[in-house]
Structure 1
Amino acid sequence: MLDFMENVQNAFYEASHWNLDNSYGALNATARALLDFQTPKGLRLQISSLAAPNFATSYTLGTVGVVDGSVSYLYSSLPLTRELRTSSLELHHVIKGYRHLQNLRKPDEDWWWEVWHAGQRIDRRDTLLYGRIFLPQSRLEALYLRRLSPTRQLRISAVSDSNLNNGGTILTLLQNDTGKYSTEYMYSTDSALMGVRGLYNFGADPKAAPMAPITAPQIAEPVHGRFSAGAELYYGLLNKSGGLSTGLRFTTLPNHTGFPYTMTLTMNPLMGNLSSTYAVKAGPNLALCSRFDFNFYSYESELQLGCELWRRRRNTEVDWAVKKLRPDWKRPTTAPDDDVSGILKARVDQDWRIGLSWEGRIKELLFTLGASLDLKKREQIFRVVGIELQYSS
């Protein structure tokens, strides 16, 4: 489950019309959400607040061996309108699951962002500032995010920690998204790492305006899926080492009449790694996923299976009748998915290592209950057990 600050950052992306799914880094987002979910360790409590549409705070307290915690602050020049209170937020915004990719959106025109007053431009680019300090480790994380144009974004993240080389690291990303394709240019102070990656979407260009018919009007056949291809290349100037990977993805779009599904194939030719995933939304409340990894140098392989089940409350006929008869102005405000009582996630690999997670909402609290098991170790089957609680106002 996303924490409060991650949800706020996603609200900023949504308000500034930035597509998180249209990048090479998000190529395997569906498989990672269904197979690589984190199981909590020990007990962790988070209390957060959106004090104003532009300012948010969050406090975290955890007990994993020793008592630790963090304090974080966030400022956004763009007012955030998404509902962030735990009592009424939409669970789909904070729970990572099967991702339904939408049709590509045409980027905003540059002149849409212009604000003029008395003959002078007074508009400013939207900016997000985020800082978090971990106690008692005294580790500091910071994020600077700025929208440079409707198709360009600058992201600078930094970590200060005495345990890291040179006491910390800074990562800079210059991201471009035109809809049809996206590119990212990266530089990290760790080993002076430089990189570039991109994603290309086959099919119609969302920036191209539809042509007027010359004779009789023709109805274009709707597109039910999208095929994408991408690659990344990076090289460390200090350690004189680099890497290369490439990937393919096919996913169905909202107008697909059958079961939604996503297939990906990624390859790292230098390391010899090949990974294929298949995820399907088998029903309104059920998603299944599989991932097969193979190394054609060592001939080692790994298989993982996972599922996600959304459990919904069953309303009786009496409850249905009461809701129909009661006026809307008397009914308390509820979230769009208020009938969701919880989401169960499970994964298993070929070595019988199992991960379980139960996420949902109780009254005004979000909870995540998780466990990690190893069935081959009879003397200690349970490896990790934990629970996380979140409250935001």
Structure 2
Amino acid sequence: MLGFMEYVQSAFLEASHWNQDNSYSSLTATARNLLDFPTPRGLRLNVSSLSTLNLATSYNLGSIGPVDGSLSYLYSSLPLKTTSKSSKIDLCDVVRGYRHLQELRRPDEQWRWEVWRGGRRIDQRDVLLYGRMFLPRSAIEGLYVRRLSPTQQIRVSCVSDARLKNGGTVLALYQRDVGKYSTELLYSTDEALAGVRGLYNFGPDPRKDNPPPNPSAERFYGRFSAGAELYYGAMNKSGGVSTGVRFTTLPAHSGIPLTMTLTINPLMGNLSTTYAVKAGDSLALCSRFDFNVYSYESDLVIGCELWRRRRRMARMATELDRVGDTEAAQGRVGGEEAAGVLKARLGQNGSIGLLWEGRIKELLFCLGPSAMPVTLEERS
């Protein structure tokens, strides 16, 4: 489940019209959400608040070994008109699961971001600042995001911790997304690592006027994407490269939603394939097969997520006051809402993971165990 600060950061990117799914780093996001979910360790409590439209705070307290915790603060120059009450947040917005990719959006025109007053341009670019302090070890992490234009942004994250090499690290990203393709330049002070990655989407260009989609014209109406990344560490004199492809169905597809990916790391000889399908409104299935062409080692992981839904409780008086229209109010309180989700995974080596995420009145929670097989050597 997304932490409150991650939820607010996602709201900032959405409000500033930045597509989080149109990048090479998110190529296998669906499989990671369904198979690589973390299971809780110990007991951890988070108390968070969006005190104003521009400021959010969060306090975290854990009980893993010695008592630990953290203090977090976030500022957004862009007012975030998102739901902040845990009792009203849609679980689908905070639970990482099967990702339905949307049609590519045409980038905003540059002139739409301009604000003029008295013949002078006074507009400013949206900025997000985030800081977090861990106690009692006094480690600090920070994040700076700035939108440069409708198609560009920079993202700088840093960590200060005495346990890290050189006392900390800084990662800087320059991102450009025009819809049809996206590129990223990155640099990390850790090993003086520099890299570049990109993603290209085949099919219509959102910057041009295209005819409306016709799902009946083809069996699978979706999007085929291909990308690659290249990086090199100057200090350790080593580099890496990877490439991948993805096919996913889009909302106009009339059949069962599915996502397929293939990623290859030619230097290490690793090959990974994933297949995820939304088998129903409340069920998603996923599998991943990894293979190394040099060692012939392989691994298979399967997983699923099952949503529990319930009918919304009709609160006509409240909705009428907020909406002011009977039909609109009925539309908002009718139907079903997500009450919780059960995630499960099973590895080829016998590893098991279970996770239940849900809500009890004002409390969002996640709990679940994980188990790894014990070999004869470990027993001895």
Matched residue count: 366
Structure having greater relative contact order (Cα 8 Å, sep ≥ 6): 1
Change (3 A) 1:219 1:40: closer
Asked whether 1:329 is paired with 2:326, we answer no
Asked whether 1:348 is paired with 2:341, we answer no
Contact 1:73 1:131 in 2 (8 A): yes
Q: Who is 1:145 aligned against?
A: 145
Contact 1:246 1:267 in 2 (8 A): yes
Q: Who is 1:221 aligned against?
A: 214
Query: Aligned to 2:67, what secondary structure does the other structure show?
Result: strand
| Equivalent residue for 1:267, pick from 237, 255, 264 | 264
Query: Aligned to 2:294, what secondary structure does the other structure show?
Result: coil
Asked whether 1:245 is paired with 2:236, we answer no
Asked whether 1:236 is paired with 2:226, we answer no
Query: Aligned to 1:282, what secondary structure does the other structure show?
Result: coil
Contact 1:313 1:341 in 2 (8 A): yes
Q: Distance in 2 between matches of 1:239 and 1:325?
A: 64
Q: Who is 2:201 aligned against?
A: 201
Counterpart residue identity of residue 104, structure 2: L
Query: Aligned to 2:162, what secondary structure does the other structure show?
Result: coil
Counterpart residue identity of residue 40, structure 2: P
Q: Who is 2:90 aligned against?
A: 90
Query: Aligned to 1:51, what secondary structure does the other structure show?
Result: coil
Q: Distance in 2 between matches of 1:311 and 1:255?
A: 25
Contact 1:35 1:305 in 2 (8 A): yes
Change (3 A) 1:335 1:278: farther
Q: Who is 1:169 aligned against?
A: 169
Q: Who is 2:326 aligned against?
A: none
Asked whether 1:255 is paired with 2:248, we answer no
Query: Aligned to 1:125, what secondary structure does the other structure show?
Result: coil
Cα displacement (A) at 1:82: 1.1
Query: Aligned to 2:19, what secondary structure does the other structure show?
Result: coil
Query: Aligned to 1:346, what secondary structure does the other structure show?
Result: strand
Q: Distance in 2 between matches of 1:337 and 1:6?
A: 28
Counterpart residue identity of residue 168, structure 2: G
Contact 1:172 1:187 in 2 (8 A): yes
Q: Distance in 2 between matches of 1:112 and 1:175?
A: 20
Change (3 A) 1:220 1:83: closer
Q: Who is 1:291 aligned against?
A: 288
Change (3 A) 1:314 1:335: closer
Contact 1:352 1:376 in 2 (8 A): no
Q: Who is 2:29 aligned against?
A: 29
Q: Who is 2:273 aligned against?
A: 276
Cα displacement (A) at 1:92: 1.1
User: Can you list the C-alpha shifts for 1:114-170, whole angstroms capped at 9, x where unaligned?
Assistant: 000000000000000000000011110000000000000100000001111110000
Cα displacement (A) at 1:375: 5.2
Query: Aligned to 1:53, what secondary structure does the other structure show?
Result: coil
- Unpaired runs of 5+ residues, structure 2, are 324-328
Counterpart residue identity of residue 202, structure 1: F
Counterpart residue identity of residue 221, structure 1: N
Query: Aligned to 2:63, what secondary structure does the other structure show?
Result: strand
Counterpart residue identity of residue 88, structure 1: K
- Unpaired runs of 5+ residues, structure 1, are 211-217, 381-393
Q: Distance in 2 between matches of 1:363 and 1:131?
A: 29
Percent identity between the two aligned chains: 65
Q: Who is 1:384 aligned against?
A: none
Query: Aligned to 1:66, what secondary structure does the other structure show?
Result: coil
> Mean Cα displacement is larger for which, 85-94 or 323-332?
323-332
Contact 1:89 1:335 in 2 (8 A): no
Q: Who is 1:19 aligned against?
A: 19
Change (3 A) 1:115 1:337: farther
Q: Who is 2:5 aligned against?
A: 5
Change (3 A) 1:149 1:352: same
Q: Distance in 2 between matches of 1:149 and 1:128?
A: 15
Using structure 2 for the length normalisation, give the TM-score. 0.92
Q: Distance in 2 between matches of 1:331 and 1:207?
A: 37
User: Can you list the C-alpha shifts for 1:234-287, whole angstroms capped at 9, x where unaligned?
Assistant: 000111000000000000000111110000000000000000000000000000
Change (3 A) 1:336 1:326: closer
Q: Considering fraction of residues, name the structure with more strand.
A: 1
> Mean Cα displacement is larger for which, 324-333 or 369-378?
324-333
Q: Distance in 1 between matches of 2:198 and 2:156?
A: 19
Query: Aligned to 1:10, what secondary structure does the other structure show?
Result: helix
Cα displacement (A) at 1:7: 0.2
| Equivalent residue for 1:301, pick from 298, 303, 326 | 298
